Chain A
Amino acid sequence: MNRDFFPADTRTDSAPHGAMFDYLLRLGDDSLILCQRLTEWCGHAPALEIDLSLANIGLDLIGQATLFLNFAGAIEDRGRDGDRLAFHRDASDFRNCLLVEQPNGDFAQTMARQFLFSTAQLGLFEQLMLSTEPRIAEIAAKGVKEVRYHADLAADWIVRLGDGTDESRNRMVVGLDWCWRFIDELFLVDDVEAGLIEQGIAVDRSALRGAFDARLSSVLADAGLPAPVYPRGVRGGRAGRHSEHLGHLLATMQHLPRSYPDAVW
């Protein structure tokens, strides 16, 4: 539980192309990596309806990722578009939070991760709609309705499994336990974001924790699940220090475009 995946800081939070580029990578990579994880369920979910749900949530996420990463590429202005950023960066250049790269585990663990991420993302997007950067505001306004649906669907499953059989309850407890150590990072504010928060571009994530905790408590209570006991938090994703899992995920996701860079549909 308290394993630390990472060596001592080897990278700094410095942003080579500016804080704005970095922030857009964080937003886009969260959606991109979680989408890739969800697609691993394609054809393997416990039921056809769940298969459809997970794939369709992934589709919404890939849409958000495309919008954020295309914008990041435009801000960077070095000829990289969303596809280039998705398929031709190494793990240490990804800026997603650690939660989204965690393995699917069983269905309970997948839904635990989904509920925690979507609930945090919902709070974030609701505020990002007010960003002084109009492009970010409109991407968030577009995505917020989708994310609300994801958060609600996942909450339903927390309750169904938590308040289900002994087996499903145990699995949900274990699934949530896997995730707790990655929650602090979702609300972390570092130097990259502090400046953007000043300008009204970024959202102060630390201010979103209260609403997140309240929603979490309410859903856990409905599910008859125990309140979280947070172990020491693990962090590093925003600075490119990732768990081993991300490398394996990228190996699958990037294999084709990296092996055949000129391949087209």
Chain B
Amino acid sequence: MQLSAEGAERILAALESVPDPEIPAISLMDLGVIRGIRREPPAVLITPTYSGCPATLVIERAVREAVDAAGYSDVPVETVLAPPWTTDWITERGREHLRDYGIAPPPKGSASMTLKAGAPVACPRCGSDETREVSRFGSTPCKAQWQCRACLEPFDHFKCH
């Protein structure tokens, strides 16, 4: 069985509006966890951000519902591990949405994980580079807790991964 190019487009279009359950400001497409549509045999390919991300099942269900609603209930949703997800797959639009939401996005091209000597993290509220890491982990495994020295606001930073 093969999925038509048009069918694949329709599914992708339906997935555009599905938000991430943990960070609803960003769509699953922009987060890069939807890896694409395989046409033969048909499948929607998704990948977890972290091995133990607790949102994985919720994401799978949300994708399932959106694909069903688009009329493709016979197309399975498949989780793939390789290649491993990286923050480089977050789209420019996704980065914008994260920043607007108050989360400092990871710098592009930094997925090789520089822990300390990386580029400065700009405060998503005032834009200042005068920021400091408060905690290696934040509210989810994919984020760290930072604080702005200029406006004093604490904020989440999406870790480079």
Contacts and interface: CB of A to CB of B under 8 A. Distances in A.
Interface of A: 49, 52-53, 55-57, 59-64, 66-67, 134, 137-139, 141-143, 145-146, 148-149, 152-153, 156
Given A49-B137, A60-B51, A143-B51, 16 more contacts: A52-B138, A56-B137, A56-B141, A59-B53, A59-B54, A59-B141, A60-B141, A67-B81, A141-B83, A142-B81, A142-B82, A142-B85, A145-B161, A146-B51, A149-B136, A149-B159
Nearest to A143: B51
A63 B135 contact: no
Interface of B: 48, 50-54, 81-85, 113, 115, 134-141, 145, 159, 161
A141 to B, nearest CB: 5
B136 A59 contact: no
A137 B81 CA distance: 10
Contact of A49 (B48, B52, B134): B134
17 contacts: A49-B136, A57-B137, A59-B141, A63-B48, A63-B51, A63-B52, A64-B52, A66-B51, A67-B81, A137-B82, A141-B83, A142-B48, A142-B81, A142-B82, A143-B51, A145-B84, A149-B115
Nearest to B136: A153
A67 B137 contact: no
A218 to B, nearest CB: 15
A138 B141 contact: no
A149 B53 CA distance: 15
Contacts of A60: 50-52, 141
A52 B84 contact: no
**Best-surrounded residue of A52, A64, A148 (most CB of chain B within 10 A):** A52
B51 A138 contact: no
A138 B113 CA distance: 18
Nearest to A142: B84
Contacts of B134: 49
A141 B84 contact: yes
A146 B50 contact: yes
A138 B82 contact: yes
A7 B135 CA distance: 44
- Best-surrounded residue of B51, B134, B138 (most CB of chain A within 10 A): B51
Contact of B82 (A52, A61, A141, A149): A141
